[in-house]
Amino acid sequence: MGLEELEQKEYFSIGDVKRITGVPEYSVRYWEAEFGLIRPIRLESGHRRYTKEDVYTILRIKDLIYKHKLTLEGAKKQLAHYRLPVVGEEKRTHTDTKLLTEIKETLEDLLK
């Protein structure tokens, strides 16, 4: 499997990600926890399914660490503006709060 096959599939196992990126599985799992940018879907069995965006993020991190010789901290600083919000995170904009309130109200209406 190579980069050309990256465009043909929607979801990838951790083994697929390893073959596409050349990054060991343990590094992928570590970067997932360390950077907060990689958010695979968890199957009921506990297996991870990575999206194309996850794979591209892993390739970006690999490029920063191996090609540009950045430390993990340096790579984190470079990628800080790409970071996805963590559930329960304090930083929320007014728009985020309004959208969440609207979603909550819609769901409550549906339940009634």
Q: What is the CATH number of the domain that holds 60?
A: 1.10.1660.10
Q: Which residues constitute the domain of residue 28?
A: 3-87
Task: Give me the long-range contacts of 45-54 (CB less than 8 A, separation at least 24).
Answer: 47/13, 47/14, 48/13, 48/14, 49/11, 49/12, 49/13, 50/11, 50/12, 50/13, 50/14, 50/16, 50/17, 51/10, 51/11, 51/12, 52/6, 52/7, 52/9, 52/10, 52/12, 54/12, 54/17
User: Is 30 part of any domain?
Assistant: yes
User: Is 96 part of any domain?
Assistant: no
Number of domains in the chain: 1
Global pTM? 0.69
Q: What is the pLDDT along the chain (112 residues), one digit of tens a residue?
A: 566 777 888 899 999 999 999 999 999 999 999 998 899 999 999 999 999 999 999 999 999 999 999 999 999 988 886 655 555 545 545 556 677 777 778 888 777 7
User: Is 9 part of any domain?
Assistant: yes
